[in-house]
Structure 1
Amino acid sequence: MDFHGIDLNLLAAFNALMAERNVTRAAARVGVSQPAMSAALSRLRKLTGDPLFLRSAQGLLPTPRARDLAEPIGNALRHIESALVQRPTFVPRDAALTFNLGLSDYPAFVLLPALQNALEKQAPGVSLSVSAFSSRDSAVDLLDAGTIDAAIGVPPTQSDSRIFTRTVLQDEFVTIVRRDHPSARRGMDLEAFLASPHLLVSPEGDRYGLVDEALAKLGKRRRLALTLPQMFAAPAVVARTHLIGTVMKRVALASPARRQLVLFAPPVPLASVRFDLIWHRRNDGHSGQQWLRALVVELAAALESAL
């Protein structure tokens, strides 16, 4: 392939299309018209000999070739930008910008209040825009698209060199019942655990969770009476019903219904749950995001020591 005469604006167009998955939004991102972006995509296809992006109901889906090109092209553009533009040092108290953060329910409830409080004190001109996600791999999609700067959630199912992770929070499971439940007096052994109907928290809507996997190894099954996607609703439901729930410890301790609950160690072995700070390689060197990530790590460490 002869690279002489290649318009480097095509690389910026490709980067925008990869981030936006939409021709119109990609055009706005780089400040050109929609027809100009369509023409750039046509030239990119001719240059690479690949369609690069295929239309679907969810927008433009990148082909395997486009995914292979995404990281080297993104890195090349960042190197060019770094060479041409002197980035100012990030000063939290003087900064005026918005960080886009992806949060699953747990870190939103447990960590977000402390994070917002710290921003108000240390960086009053900085604001947060939070995007929710439930599927663990949705965070990677949001990072790839440039929708968020970082995420906090359960680790993605697959590792990838373009995605960086660091564990910031861990929690253990507890089994909860209301205070006048028969098991609250007798104790929570396996027999008592299986005697009552159960509540299952399943953000993705599955009716088979970690508890069911552990019971299956013992040749046992529980009876599910309720499946719900919101983990922080579970303690309030358990406090007013005959259901048994198994939730993360901080969820139970932070619930307004805490006084109406009794907590037990689950009668089946359950591994602790890990929550990672997740970010994209392209954001790794951004001084402002480096500061935000360090702040998240510091606040999470304080929460861990308090549990």
Structure 2
Amino acid sequence: MLRNFDMNLFIVLHALMEERSVTRTGERLGKTQSAISNALKRLREQFDDPLFVRTPGGLIPTPRAEELGRAAEEIMLTTQRSLSRAADLDPATSTAQFAIGAPDRLSLPVFLPFLGALARLAPGISIDLRTSDRDHAIRLIESQEIDLALGWFDQLPPRIMSSPAFSEELVCLCRPDHPIKDRRKPFDIDALLSFPHLVVSSGGDRKAAFDTMLARIGRERIARISLGNFTLVPSLLRQSDLIGVFTRRTASYFADHFALATHPLPFDIEPMSHQLIWHRRLDTDKVHRWVRGQLLRHCQP
């Protein structure tokens, strides 16, 4: 029944309950008396009830009309509240909850300042930050386990929306006295790939974006150690010949804070273009759009 019901008839019913007059209802809704009479006829047919009885003092609702009128009133109030919330979005008073997925390497350069700003601008918004990357992040969005994901994505399904976040070059990270600095040997791609590598892989597959880029040119590296996060990275690099290849901001942070060194890659490779992604069903949600804007603002170097 509901599938074939014209919900606009509830608007007419609600007005008739308050005005008790076809003429005044038409004036209130900006419709002709004939249009209101036709709507009332359709309502009577739909519910098999006269709904209103004409008297010298106006229309008197039947018990069935009283029942439907309460339902129409609730529908109108719910709609009005929803429209009011959408129009008067105030981040400072919002209590929305968001789950955001991102690789661990973005925690310090992006999410530390983002979460600090959010605490000032929207203290009631809760954030659940989850470690995820690439296909794993896409699966979490599709299953509605997270609302947003930030990272490097090779391909996106059509139902996933995206916005460019930032592009950043990859660099090498290692100890300052690493053999990579031996000037007697040329530092080229063969030299880089001859050393054992430390890989941080959120998905647990011993692969990172750099491995995808190497595969495109028919090369691969030796992933001696694979970690799920960056906690052990500084200690492992300082005490070994391991090399890590990370985005510049992440590598620079560890170089500055843990006495490590960065080096440019010895060959041309495309920068890592990061995207912010979300499901199409959330695209027009006002709070979601506001949080997206804040996160994108803090992605910039």
Q: Calculate the TM-score normalised by the size of structure 1.
A: 0.61
User: Residues 10-21 of structure 1 correspond to what in structure 2 (within 5 A)?
Assistant: none
User: Residues 4-83 of structure 1 correspond to what in structure 2 (within 5 A)?
Assistant: 4=1
Would you say the 8 A contact 2:99–2:148 is kept in 1? yes
Residue of 173, 184, 187 corresponding to 2:170: 173
Which structure 2 residue ranges, 5 or more long, are not aligned? 6-77
2:273 maps to 1:291: no
Aligned equivalents of 1:196, 1:243: Cα separation in 2: 7
Would you say the 8 A contact 2:106–2:250 is kept in 1? no
Structure 1 pair 95–158 and aligned structure 2 pair: CA distance change class (3 A): closer
Aligned equivalents of 1:141, 1:219: Cα separation in 2: 28
Residue 166 (structure 1) shift: 0.6
Structure 1 pair 248–104 and aligned structure 2 pair: CA distance change class (3 A): same
Structure 1 pair 290–207 and aligned structure 2 pair: CA distance change class (3 A): closer
Aligned equivalents of 1:271, 1:221: Cα separation in 2: 16
Residue 281 (structure 1) shift: 1.6
Aligned equivalents of 1:140, 1:216: Cα separation in 2: 22
Residue of 176, 180, 185 corresponding to 1:183: 180
Q: What whole-Å deviation, never above 9, does each CA across 1:22-43 have from its counterpart, x for those lacking one?
A: xxxxxxxxxxxxxxxxxxxxxx
Bigger CA radius of gyration: 2
Residue 118 (structure 1) shift: 0.7
Residue of structure 2 equivalent to 1:92: 91
Structure 1 pair 282–156 and aligned structure 2 pair: CA distance change class (3 A): farther
Identity of aligned residues (%): 27
Would you say the 8 A contact 1:111–1:299 is kept in 2? yes
User: Residues 72-221 of structure 1 correspond to what in structure 2 (within 5 A)?
Assistant: 85-88=82-85, 89-134=88-133, 136-155=134-153, 157-160=155-158, 162-186=159-183, 188-190=187-189, 192-206=191-205
Q: Secondary structure at the match of 2:254?
A: coil
Which structure 1 residue ranges, 5 or more long, are not aligned? 9-80
Q: Secondary structure at the match of 1:277?
A: strand
Aligned equivalents of 2:216, 2:278: Cα separation in 1: 36
Residue of structure 2 equivalent to 1:47: none
Would you say the 8 A contact 1:188–1:264 is kept in 2? no
Which amino acid is the alignment partner of residue 155 of structure 1? F
Aligned equivalents of 1:222, 1:96: Cα separation in 2: 46
Give the root-mean-square deviation of aligned CA atoms: 3.3
Q: Secondary structure at the match of 1:109?
A: helix
Aligned equivalents of 2:135, 2:248: Cα separation in 1: 24
Residue 295 (structure 1) shift: 0.9
Would you say the 8 A contact 1:232–1:251 is kept in 2? no
